[in-house]
């Protein structure tokens, strides 16, 4: 028998006779859904757990990531990482845009399928802004453009370095990469 850990420690289960609200009215029974997730980019193990049908899909992403011991970026409350529905033959569906929708409603619309994939995207940070790199190597000009920073006003640096990165030379942008953008003249000379 497979074990499905419960991610909710404090939710109620049972009949209205067992649990009553103030005033004596029965509490609504909480229905749980068995869910499985796996990280798409790795050979990670499938994670199995239960969530209430009212849980948002964001919670599927959060619990699945936690059980797989991966960190969502930039944070777990508003991640840029993606949740996908896994289709027949482990085909990966498109990213799910609305992570606020209830798990039960989403599964009902998918004929009861409850398998999900977690896509860890190439998230990087410049100063306090986070973005997703569309390719593994980008020029500093492309990085600044992606963040809406004018390359004629800003220079890109590695953290703690006073040496500007050459504007047209591609550099690796990996998940979790950090850069600093400074208005020209602060560390270096204006181009």
Q: What order do you get walking across the sheet with 129-132 strand by strand? A: 129-132, 123-126, 178-183, 154-157
**Residue 10 pLDDT more than 90?**
no
Domain positions in the chain: 22-119, 123-183
The CATH code belonging to domain 22-119 is 3.10.20.90
Whole-number pLDDT of residue 27 = 61
Question: Mean pLDDT over residues 100-126, rounded?
Answer: 91
**Residue 79 pLDDT more than 80?**
yes
Whole-number pLDDT of residue 185 = 56
Whole-number pLDDT of residue 108 = 87
CB of 52 closer than 8 Å to CB of 10: no
Angle at 121 between CA 6 and CA 46, to 5 degrees: 35
Per-residue confidence at 87, pLDDT binned at 50, 70, 90? confident
**Residue 42 pLDDT more than 90?**
no
Whole-number pLDDT of residue 110 = 76
Q: List phi, psi (to 5°) of 87.
A: -100, -170
**Residue 186 pLDDT more than 70?**
no
Give the whole-number percent of the chain exceeding pLDDT 90.
Answer: 72
**Domain 123-183 grouped into CATH 3.10.20:** yes
123-183 shares the fold of 22-119: yes
Per-residue confidence at 12, pLDDT binned at 50, 70, 90? very low
């Amino acid at each position: 028998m497979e074990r499905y850990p419960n991610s909710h420690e404090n939710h109620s289960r049972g009949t209205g006779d067992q649990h009553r609200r103030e005033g004596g009215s029965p509490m609504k029974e909480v229905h749980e859904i068995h869910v499985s997730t796996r990280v798409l980019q790795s050979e990670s193990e499938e994670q199995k757990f239960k969530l209430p049908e009212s849980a948002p899909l964001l919670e599927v992403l959060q619990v699945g990531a936690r059980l797989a011991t991966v960190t969502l970026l930039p944070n777990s409350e508003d991640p840029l990482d993606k949740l996908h529905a896994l289709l027949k033959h482990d085909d990966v569906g498109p990213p799910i845009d609305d992570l606020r929708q209830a798990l039960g409603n989403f599964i009902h619309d998918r004929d009861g399928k409850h398998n999900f994939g977690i896509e860890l995207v190439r998230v990087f940070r410049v100063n306090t802004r986070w973005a997703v790199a569309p390719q593994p190597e980008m020029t500093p000009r492309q990085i600044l453009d992606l963040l809406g920073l004018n390359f004629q006003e800003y220079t890109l640096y590695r953290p703690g370095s006073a040496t500007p990165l050459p504007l047209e030379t591609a550099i690796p942008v990996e998940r979790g990469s950090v850069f600093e953008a400074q208005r020209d003249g602060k560390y270096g000379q204006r181009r």
